[in-house]
Amino acid sequence: MSRFRNTVTRGAPILLALFLCALARAQVAPAGNAHPATELLESTELVNPLGDPTPSTMSPREKHAFASRVDLSPWRRVAAHHNGRVKILDTLARETVRAITGRRNYQDFIPETDADGAVTGVEKLGYDPLFTFFDLLAAPDYYYDKPLVHVAYLPAREALIDVSVSDPAVRERWMMLTRLSPELLNAGFRAVAEERGTDAEIARALGELNNIADVLRYGHNNLLLVAPVEGSERWRHVSEVGAETPLRVAFREFGEAWRAGDAERVNECTERIVAELDAMNEGSTSPTRRSIEAAYNTSHPFELGAWMYLVALVALLLGMGTQWRWMIALGVVTLSVGILAHTLGFAARWCIAERLPIQNQFESMTGLALGGAMVGLVLMLTRRQWLFGAASAAVGFLILLAATQTGVPGETIGREAAILNTSWLLKYHVSTVLVSYGLITLGAVMSLFYLALHYFGKPDAGRTFEEIASATAYGLNAKTTTPAGRARLLNELDRAQMTVLQLAFWTLGVGILLGAWWADHSWGRWWAFDPKETWALLTWIVYLIVIHVRFGLRAQRGLVTAWLSIAGFVIMLWTYFGVNLLLPGLHAYA
């Protein structure tokens, strides 16, 4: 434990500076216009109810064996107050482990050697986040030389490793792991801060490491597991309950048993603690909501949805190209499963967050993907064309993949900006704009199909691809359709992309005007030339051009429309991501 403390003490000035920066910023931002900052820690002055950690003597294999014997399932649905909301302990553990390791769970790496002692491979031992969460509270020294802390910024990682590692092979191994041990951080932090602390990116990376060091040292502060007593609003920390109460005693014994590697006693203490907490917290939180949250955590609905969409996309494209009906059936089924998983995930998040989940980048991405995919599905069913289904799957896959795999902000469920919380009009504005973005993406995918067919779909020997595709693309009942040529399929694709783009144009226009209505109502100014507003208008203008340019063209209407649709999509991407990340403005929460 003392070794973790060193990291914290050394980094304290930078942490303080970052804190002051955050404080100063908070004073100037318009009231309620930004999401509350994510607080990894609740406080810094509480006692560890699991008792003081002692040096760990367990080997990785012993640790893993111990982990397999411990039953943590009763803990999962225990309510905990953290970062402004009541969540389940499973969520808290997942968030904590992800914040520290940068991945879903912690892994131990055990070198495999042959008879001569030469390393032949590496065995990976994965742990449940909840186990790692408790292990970091009860026996943190185990991790002192393990690859624990994720250092995302490559130059910072290199600099920290270079301070104390000279062997190129070892250095390479740490670099590949992307996670450094607290030992390496302790050795390198000060030197890197002094030598390269003036580099803003390095300083930011070191600041993040300081936050992680704080979580490692004070993680037990997050054990706000006891519901408020009457007359109080604050959830209580376990250590604030009487020292000799059954709960505290059970916690102490739990910690001792954990450090001793006594799984049976750990399980027995777990049952006592959970029973005590259930009795103390009775009626304070909804068991149904906690169950939904647990299911949401374990099912990963958006990732499941993304992979289902991928299968659907591939199957539908293959099915259209080959006329294999079973492939199309597979595509339709997986698309339906993907949309179902996506919808259930969205609904679960709505229930957990107690608000419409479209309030940050992650949520808005899942929302717009759902909007685009559903519209595509409806068009597929009403127009009886598989192409809409393929486009729908592409939209769902691409956006959900980006949302879940690229670390966009907002995956952790938190409180929304006050300005969003207090306006129904704003919700319509945001959701309408998101639907339009989903439609723009859908239209862009349709346009990509068009361009692919236009440039690569040359007639083939025998039946052309286009003939095959058109036969199946038309719909549910391919027998009633007749084969058509390339021009006819391009014409159909053009009609399809225009259908979607017109809808996108309309919803985007309505969304922008709803935003203007809200801005006039709330701020007394309907248009502020905020970058987000400006770029939303530019996106709308692109589609205005699309619609008008078709009147002036005698030929290649579809081709020009498709290229303009791609251009509009790129501008929409800039409006959606680039403006948020690179241009300061009023849409801080978007």
Partner 1 sequence: MSAKGHRSRAWDDRFFPPWAWPLKFTLRAFSSITLAVILLLLAMVYCVLASVPIGLLALIPTWLVVSATVAAALAVFVGPPLFLVRRGLKKAPAATRFAATFVTALALGALAVVAWHYAVWPHLRYVPSTGEGLRFFADFVEAHKATTLRRLPAFEMTEGEFYAWWPLRVVLLLFVANMVIATVRRIEFRFENLGVLTVHSGIVVLTLGSVYYQSLKQEGDVLLLAGPAPGTPGPVVTNFMDRSRPALWASMDNTGWSAVPIENLPRYNDYGQGLSDRNLRIALPSIGSIRGGAPIHMSVVGFGGYVDLAEGWTPVDEAREGDAPLLDVEILSSLMSSDEAPESRPVAQLRLPAGGAGARVANVGGALFIEHVPPGDERWSWLGAKVEGDGAFALVVAGDDGSSRAIAINPGDVIEAAGATVHVQSVHSNPPFPIITPGYQDAQSAVAIVDVTTPNGRHFERWVFHRFPELNQDIHGQLDDGRPDRRPADPSIRIGLLDLTALQVYVRGDEAIVRLPGGVARATSGVSPRDEIELAPRIALRLAARWPAARKQELPVPVPPADRRSDFVGTHDRAAIAVELETGDWRQIVWLPFARFMNVAMGSDRVVELPDGRSLRLAFSRAPLPLPGITLQLNDFEMIPYAHSDIPRDYLSQVIVRDGARQETYTNTTRLNRPLIHRAPFQWSDQRSFVANALGAVVSVVAPNRFKFSQAGWDAEGWRETQAQVEAGRLDRPRAAFTILGVGNNPGIHIIALGGVMVCVGTPWAFYVKPWLLRRRSERLRAQHADRSKREQAPRAASEEEAVAMSGATS
Assess contact for 105 and 129: CB atoms under 8 A.
Answer: yes
Given 516, 560, 566, 570, the residue binding partner 1 (CB under 8 A): 516
Given 323, 343, 412, 491, the residue binding partner 1 (CB under 8 A): 323
Applying the rule CB under 8 A, the residues between 335 and 394 that interact with partner 1 are none
Given 294, 318, 340, 402, the residue binding partner 1 (CB under 8 A): 318
Smaller CB separation from partner 1, 118 or 424: 424
Cα–Cα distance for residue pair 556/559, rounded to 1 Å = 5
Q: Is 477 in the site for partner 1 (CB under 8 A)?
A: no
Smaller CB separation from partner 1, 73 or 522: 522
Given 22, 245, 521, 556, the residue binding partner 1 (CB under 8 A): 521
**Residues in CB range of 140: below 8 A, 6 or more apart:** 1, 4, 53, 216
Q: What's the length of the chain? A: 590
Q: Is 422 in the site for partner 1 (CB under 8 A)?
A: yes
Angle formed by the axes of helices 486-523 and 465-473, to 10°?
50
Closest separation in Å from C-beta 498 to partner 1: 9
Assess contact for 510 and 432: CB atoms under 8 A.
Answer: yes
Q: Is 325 in the site for partner 1 (CB under 8 A)?
A: no
Cα–Cα distance for residue pair 431/425, rounded to 1 Å = 10
Within 10 angstroms of residue 500's Cβ, the number of other Cβ atoms is: 26
Closest separation in Å from C-beta 559 to partner 1: 16
Smaller CB separation from partner 1, 120 or 424: 424
Applying the rule CB under 8 A, the residues between 120 and 159 that interact with partner 1 are 154-155
Tokens of residue 124, six digits:
């990976």
Classified as helix, coil or strand, 500 is helix
Closest separation in Å from C-beta 15 to partner 1: 18
Applying the rule CB under 8 A, the residues between 225 and 254 that interact with partner 1 are 228, 233-235
Q: Is 5 in the site for partner 1 (CB under 8 A)?
A: no
Given 1, 249, 314, 484, the residue binding partner 1 (CB under 8 A): 314
Smaller CB separation from partner 1, 60 or 155: 155
Smaller CB separation from partner 1, 468 or 566: 468
Residue in 47, 34, 83 with CA at minimum distance from that of residue 94: 83
Closest separation in Å from C-beta 335 to partner 1: 18
Given 71, 463, 476, 487, the residue binding partner 1 (CB under 8 A): 463
From residue 530 to residue 549, the character string flagging contacts with partner 1 as x (rule: CB under 8 A) and all else as - is xx--xx-xx--xx-xx--xx
Q: Is 48 exposed, middle or buried (0-12, 13-18, 19+ CB in 10 A)?
A: buried
Applying the rule CB under 8 A, the residues between 431 and 460 that interact with partner 1 are 460
Residue with tokens 């954990």: 258
Applying the rule CB under 8 A, the residues between 156 and 215 that interact with partner 1 are 196, 199-202
Smaller CB separation from partner 1, 50 or 317: 317
Given 484, 509, 559, 577, the residue binding partner 1 (CB under 8 A): 509
Closest separation in Å from C-beta 228 to partner 1: 6
Smaller CB separation from partner 1, 55 or 459: 459
Helices (H), 406-485: 418-421, 424-456, 465-473
Smaller CB separation from partner 1, 10 or 236: 236
Tell me the backbone φ, ψ of residue 71, rounded to 5 degrees: -105, 105
Q: Is 513 in the site for partner 1 (CB under 8 A)?
A: yes
Q: Are strands 119-126 and 107-113 parallel, antiparallel or unpaired?
A: antiparallel
In our burial notation (b when 16+ CB lie closer than 10 A, e otherwise), range 423-454 reads: eeebbbbbbbbbbbbbbbbbbbbbbbbbbebb
Instruction: Characterise 25 by phi-psi region: left (phi > 0), alpha (psi -120 to 50), beta (else).
Output: alpha
Given 144, 350, 428, 506, the residue binding partner 1 (CB under 8 A): 506
**Under rule CB under 8 A, how many of the chain's residues touch partner 1?**
85
Closest separation in Å from C-beta 426 to partner 1: 7
In our burial notation (b when 16+ CB lie closer than 10 A, e otherwise), range 111-138 reads: eeeeeeeeeeeeeebebbbbbbbbbbbb
Given 307, 324, 350, 428, the residue binding partner 1 (CB under 8 A): 324
Cα–Cα distance for residue pair 318/331, rounded to 1 Å = 9
Smaller CB separation from partner 1, 144 or 307: 307
Distances 325 to 380, 467, 478, 479, 520 between C-alpha atoms, Å = 16, 15, 9, 11, 54
Q: Please state the separation of Cα 226 from the chain's center in Å.
A: 29
Smaller CB separation from partner 1, 249 or 418: 418
Classified as helix, coil or strand, 149 is strand
Closest separation in Å from C-beta 442 to partner 1: 16
Tokens of residue 272, six digits:
């006592």
Assess contact for 279 and 241: CB atoms under 8 A.
Answer: no
Applying the rule CB under 8 A, the residues between 15 and 34 that interact with partner 1 are 24-32
Within 10 angstroms of residue 520's Cβ, the number of other Cβ atoms is: 12
Applying the rule CB under 8 A, the residues between 392 and 421 that interact with partner 1 are 415, 418-419, 421
Q: Is 523 in the site for partner 1 (CB under 8 A)?
A: yes
The secondary structure of residue 441, as a DSSP letter, is H
Closest separation in Å from C-beta 29 to partner 1: 7
Smaller CB separation from partner 1, 493 or 579: 579
Closest separation in Å from C-beta 28 to partner 1: 6
Assess contact for 294 and 88: CB atoms under 8 A.
Answer: yes
